[in-house]
Amino acid sequence: METVTKHNYESVQGLEGRYVNQHLWSDVNPVGKIISTRGKNFVTIQPMSAGENKTKMEFVVGGFSGHCINQYAQKYDFFEDGEPYEVRISKTQLANRFWKIEDSPCKYYDYNF
């Protein structure tokens, strides 16, 4: 299934079980799992967080202080974190590209930024 963007957004119906991830330029953080929908624009999100990176990062000389050569191999465990909350998701919100609705939770830290 593809990422939900403003171009293919019609309503939140059918998004149960999908995940909301926050994309901040090159970093990505999990927001939560959509557990229910209400109307055309409201979703209930179960907050999620990521544990520690389970991959040993490898650095070589380069850049300002070093260059991570295996940053795409990051592995995280995800945990439910806190009480569910309801938010409104709109075409405008998805257009800002900070929140994306995807098939799985995601955590990525850009060590080379």
**Whole-structure pTM value:** 0.80
Structural domain contains residue 66: yes
pLDDT number for residue 35: 93
pLDDT tens track for 29-55: 999 999 998 888 888 999 999 999 888
Structural domain contains residue 107: no
Structural domain contains residue 94: yes
Number of domains in the chain: 1
Structural domain contains residue 65: yes
Q: Which of 104, 97, 103, 101 is nearest to 75 (CA)?
A: 104
Phi-psi region of 61 (alpha: psi -120 to 50; beta: other; left: phi over 0): beta
Structural domain contains residue 53: yes
Structural domain contains residue 39: yes
Structural domain contains residue 54: yes
Structural domain contains residue 73: yes
Expressed as residue numbers, the domain containing 47 is 6-102
